[in-house]
Amino acid sequence: QLDMKLKKTVVMVGMMGAGKTAVGRALAAKIGVPFLDSDAEIVKAANMAIAEIFERDGEAFFRQKETQVIERLLDEERGILSTGGGAFLAEANRDLISDKGVAVWLDADLDLLWQRVRHKDTRPLLHTPNPRQTLKEIYEVRVPVYAKAELSVKADAKYSIEDMADRVLEALL
Ligand code: S3P
């Protein structure tokens, strides 16, 4: 394990299924810094699953909580912060992130994303009659926004989580 001192929190952004949580956690372990996860913090505070929060309180409420949590985590400590796939969409969040962190986009293509999310039921945005099509629509809207991240790292089925953590680290150095 490396013991790195981060100048800023490294913020993982990108689509659901890109590997933000898995890669973020592996990277944090590798370099010996805290792993932070905005979705997990929201779930903990609400004591409800993400899908339940969306259902009960709506997406707008979730987005408010998401901004608050990201701001708090960025202020609290430096580490690797994995965000939900929608977090980088709001300009206010992008401003917070670029102010206090460095955004890394995990850039995975649509087929890989679909392979990874298709068997999971945890993503309320994909609770639609045609989730494959919905994912595509979300992807097309978001890619140009994710591209605003300071750094990007291509994800690919051939890269393991550890490989991805190494590649993110390389991009940071
Ligand atoms: C969302 C992605 C999810 C979660 C919520 C909304 C999105 O996180 O925050 O379901 O808007 O893409 P993951 O990217 O970790 O799946």
E strand or H helix at 12, and its extent?
Answer: strand 9-13
Domains in the chain, CATH or no CATH each? 9-155 (3.40.50.300)
Distance from the CA of 3 to the center of ligand 1, in angstroms? 30
State the complex-level ipTM: 0.97
Q: Which atom, in ligand 1's list, is nearest to the CA of 21?
A: 15
DSSP three-state, residue 105 = strand
Please tell me the pTM assigned to this model. Answer: 0.96
Question: What are the pLDDT digits (tens) for 25-34?
Answer: 999 999 999 9
Please give all residues whose beta carbon lies within 6 A of any atom in ligand 1, as ranges. 16, 20-21, 39, 50, 84-86, 123-125
Summary mean pLDDT of the chain: 96
Q: Which of 69, 78, 65, 67 is nearest to 31 (CA)?
A: 78
Distance from the CA of 19 to the center of ligand 1, in angstroms? 11
Distance from the CA of 83 to the center of ligand 1, in angstroms? 8
Question: What are the pLDDT digits (tens) for 75-101?
Answer: 999 999 999 999 999 999 999 999 999
